[in-house]
Amino acid sequence: MICFMCKGSTLNELSTFTTDMEGCVIVIKKVPSFVCEQCGEISYNGEVARRLEQIVKSITIATAEVAVVSYSEKAA
Ligand SMILES: [Zn+2]
């Protein structure tokens, strides 16, 4: 895969995805991602992006200020 920012080559790595949803910080660990060797930009393939969206939606039901989950735990 090629980095969409700088056209550099990317490595398959597990990274941490963080987002903010209505005051709740959601941290999803060990997400399969592409990390650019040159600029460090992180991108996800379509399937992973969809799953991240689903995980985020499922978490916002709970009322927590910070939610930390592992991607693999939710991936089943
Ligand atoms: Zn790059």
Report how far ligand 1's centroid is from the alpha carbon of 43 (Å).
10
Distance (Å, rounded) from C-alpha 58 to C-alpha 53? 9
Distance (Å, rounded) from C-alpha 56 to C-alpha 20? 9
Q: Is 11 in a helix, a strand, or coil?
A: strand
pLDDT of amino acid 17: 96
Q: Which residues surround ligand 1, an ion (CB under 5 A)?
A: 3, 5-6, 8, 36, 38-39, 41
Tell me if 47 is assigned to some domain: yes
Its domain, for residue 14, covers: 10-74
Tell me if 5 is assigned to some domain: no
Residue 75 has pLDDT above 80, yes or no: no
Residue pLDDT, tens place only, 23-65: 889 999 999 999 999 999 999 999 999 999 999 888 765 567 8
Report how far ligand 1's centroid is from the alpha carbon of 26 (Å).
25
Tell me if 37 is assigned to some domain: yes
Tell me if 53 is assigned to some domain: yes
**pTM higher than 0.75 for the full model?**
yes
Tell me if 1 is assigned to some domain: no
Tell me if 4 is assigned to some domain: no
Rounded to the nearest 5 percent, the helix, strand and coil shares of the chain are 25, 45, 30
Beta strands per DSSP E along 1-76: 10-21, 24-36, 42-43, 66-70
Count of structural domains, the chain: 1
